[in-house]
Amino acid sequence: MNNQETTDRTILECRVCDDVFRFQGDKVPRLLMCGHTVCHQCLTRLQVHGTSILCPFDRQPTEIGDSGVWGLKKNFALLELLEKLQFTTQNASNINLFAQQNLDKEKELDIPCDENELHTAVLYCMTCSTHLCVECAELTHSTRTLARHKRVPLSEKPKENPKCPYHPMHLVEFACLEEDCKNNPLMCYICKDYGRHVKHRHSLLDSEAENVRTSITNAVQQIKSFGEEVADSARKLGVTIQQIEGGVQLLQSPDGVSSTQRVPGTAEQSRAKIKQYFYDLRETLNRQEDAAKILLAKQDVKTLLETIQKQQQQFSDVPEQLPLDPAIPITFTKDNRVHIGPKIEMRVVTLGLDHAGKTSILFKLKQNEFIQTIPTIGFNVETIEYKNLKFTIWDVGGQHKIRPLWKHYYFNTQAVIYVIDSNNKDRLAEAQNELAKLVQEKELREASLLIFVNKQDIQPCVSIEEVTESFGLFKLCCNRSWHIQACDANSGNGLKDGLEWLSRQMVAAGATDLA
């Protein structure tokens, strides 16, 4: 350091602590009434006499108000000199600072330049708080005013104190020591003197942080000591456990051959004796229990034998008293039940849009004749017998205002017949929407679905293949039993085939009526 630098540093130092003055923080120069300048930190350490503090050089008093040392004026002349000297020093060191070899390590941080994201930042402007590459730093700070900004390598970027959450324009500089504020102890000088921490015990943020670091260091040392004690205890426990559980002993024969031998511990020997004792005790108790059960059940066994003999005699007489009647039909259903009787009843609901031909199909199946009907208001119900099945079919109207009433007919429904008018292509999309709502009903999840594509005798009409593809039936009716059948209510073609499919859904595959 040359004489000029030594003189500059002496001028800019606090004569109490010998630290260089700073633009902000604890090293800000403040003026006393006597004209002397002392840093903010040293002033806070001076003893207060009433409402005054004494100059450490000439003992002259200086009045301080409610704001304390914060109310004293800053030495702006000294701050301006500090800025000029810093600018001169910075310009002198810019050549070395911006040298490529000194900034190569900064590129390893891989921080993009704030001015051009394609560049890698290597410098940090203390005034602008921006990350810059060398080119952008020279370009943005080319003016005389901005050239005074201090720029440092990224690795020397200072850590900033957090902003006060209640006064964002000020930095956090103190920590409150009150118990009520332990969850949020950080504060700025406004919070300390005028805000929510007025008259609270406090300390500087750095001092409190150092106290916390010291306590953490002490805790770590205690944990290490405790860990060593635990490890020593664990070693002792390991030796004791090996003595109890046993281990492996290394033996060496006279020929020099080494071998291992299992050495039983005291616990293993004790366990073996206890197991043998309880095994013998269990065997003895089992024999005694078996003997006691036999004695107690002697009379019950005798009574049971007499009952079995009587029932055997009764069953031997049954074939003579009850001859088999081959006329009673027996049917095996798909839910693994055996139905004994002439007919199996099945509840079916017929749904579809209005004018689809639901009622015409119902009367064709019932009376074997085609009837030109009017739109159904409400419902029709008919019973149709087919083979050994009795279908109770509910025909519900399909007008738009009646469709919300369909859900009242779902309870206990075993099958749904959905009728589509193949001649009316304009309403196929509407029919698809209603069918999609139908298959999503929880009460119809287990019900079989038979789709009649009606009016195949009227041209033009869509085929069942076109309906299957346009409706997406393979995806729509996934995980349920369904079948699509072409038909026309006028001639009855396809109706019996649909009933045949429904009967197979009810009766087990391969099972026939036994007569």
Provide the annotated binding site for Mg(2+).
359, 376
CA atoms in the 13 A half-sphere facing the CB of 308 = 6
H/E stretch holding 90: helix 76-97
Q: Letter for the amino acid at 433?
A: N
- Of 500, 417, 423, 499, nearest to 454 by C-alpha is 423
CA dihedral 187, 193, 198, 200 (to 10 degrees): 60
Whole-angstrom distance, CA of residue 476 vs CA of residue 498? 20
How would DSSP label each residue in 115-167?
S-TTSBP-EEETTTTEEE-HHHHHHHT-STTGGGS-EEEGGGPPPPPPBPSS-
Binding residues: 352-359, 376, 398, 454-457
H/E stretch holding 37: strand 37-39
How would DSSP label each residue in 346-403?
EEEEEEE-TTSSHHHHHHHHHHSS----PPPSSEEEEEEEETTEEEEEEEE--STTTG
**Three-state secondary structure along 444-467?**
HCCCEEEEEEECCCCCCCCCHHHH
Considering only the C-alpha atoms of the chain, give the largest distance between any 2 of them, rounded to a whole number of Å. Answer: 138
Structure tokens at 429: 């999309």
Query: Of 221, 249, 314, 399, which residue is the catalytic one?
Result: 399
Residue 42 phi/psi, 5-degree rounding, is -65, -35
Whole-angstrom distance, CA of residue 87 vs CA of residue 150? 7
> Helices 266-296 and 298-321 sit at what angle, rounded to 10 degrees?
60
Whole-angstrom distance, CA of residue 187 vs CA of residue 164? 6
Whole-angstrom distance, CA of residue 118 vs CA of residue 123? 15
User: Cis link prior to 168 (omega < 30° from 0)?
Assistant: no
Cα torsion 202, 203, 205, 211: sign: negative
CB atoms within 10 A of CB 61: 15
Close Cβ partners of 209 (under 8 Å, ≥ 6 residues apart): 175
Binding residues for GTP: 352-359, 398, 454-457
193, 67 in Cβ contact below 8 A? yes
Q: What DSSP state is assigned to residue 24?
A: S
Q: Is 313 a catalytic residue?
A: no
Which sequence positions are flagged as catalytic?
399
